[in-house]
Amino acid sequence: MSTSALDRFWELVIAAMKLDPEAFRAMEILPQGNRAVLILLLLVGLSNAIAQAIVLFVNRVSKVRFVLCLLISALLFAFGYFFWILSVWLVSHVLFKVDVSFAVVYRTLGLATAPLLLSFFIALPYLGIPVQVLLSLWSLLAFVRGFAISAGLNLWQVFWCGIIGWVVLQIAQRSIGKPVASFGEWLSNTAAGTNLVTDLRQLEETLQTGFGFIRRPNHKSHRGNRR
């Protein structure tokens, strides 16, 4: 009985974290690889959503809506990452004439997100930004290692595929992707039952005023002193 990518799911994920090239080669040929990558993207999205759960706490979302928001965030992450994969695939075809199927690129770039399973550590106080940078660089190295194998490109070619693919994605998000982004924001707000505060300054103000962190002057003490 042959094994599938689902059977070796955690083995492949851990190997990808170690930047093992055999993990990317195995993901290309093992059955049910597409489903395994989709599960991985959803788990990464969930981990990222947990890291940003402070937004839900600040907005005082109920427990049921809290879980629903996490699930929707995971789905939106997977959906958004799909367009990143598509942009890299298009750039590799147009710029370097690489004859590689979209399914192979999807499996490779999806597996490269394995380090981002640790995104929940971004919620650590004072260490969030360094952890985020570390995980981003780690995932980038996995992308370079995996895509070089699947596409047969050298290091610089893979690098430019990633950079130009990212630029194409940013342009798309700011043009045809705006309705999709607006829909995602509406979906999150609907699930939360309120307009979520995501701006850092607004979050700080909400933490101070909403949770009563601002110390108000004690008028009684002043009156007592006067006496």
Per-residue pLDDT tens digits for 5-54? 899 999 999 999 999 999 999 998 899 999 999 999 999 988 877 776 66
Give the CA distances from residue 81 to residues 2, 60, 112, 144, 151, in Å, rounded to whole numbers and listed in that order: 30, 29, 11, 16, 19
CA distance 178 to 109: 24
Per-residue pLDDT tens digits for 77-105? 888 888 888 888 888 888 888 888 889 88
For the entire predicted model, the pTM comes to 0.74
Give the tokens for residue 227.
């006496």
State the chain's mean pLDDT as an integer: 76
- Sorted by where each begins, the domain ranges of the chain are 9-197
Instruction: Give the confidence band of 222 by pLDDT, cuts at 50, 70, 90.
Output: very low
Rounding to the nearest 10 degrees, give the CA dihedral for residues 102, 180, 161, 18: -80
Residues 6+ apart with CB under 8 A from 75: 42, 45
Give the tokens for residue 95.
């710029």
pLDDT at 179 over 90: no
CA distance 47 to 77: 10
Q: Phi, psi (5° rounding) for residue 78?
A: -60, -40
Angle, vertex CA 110, rays to CA 104 and CA 116, nearest 5: 160
What per-residue confidence (pLDDT) applies to 111?
93
Instruction: Give the confidence band of 192 by pLDDT, cuts at 50, 70, 90.
Output: low
Closest CA to 106 of 90, 128, 126, 129: 90
Asked if residue 75 lies in contact with residue 45, where contact means CB atoms within 8 angstroms, the answer is yes
Q: Stretch 61-86: mean pLDDT, rounded?
A: 78
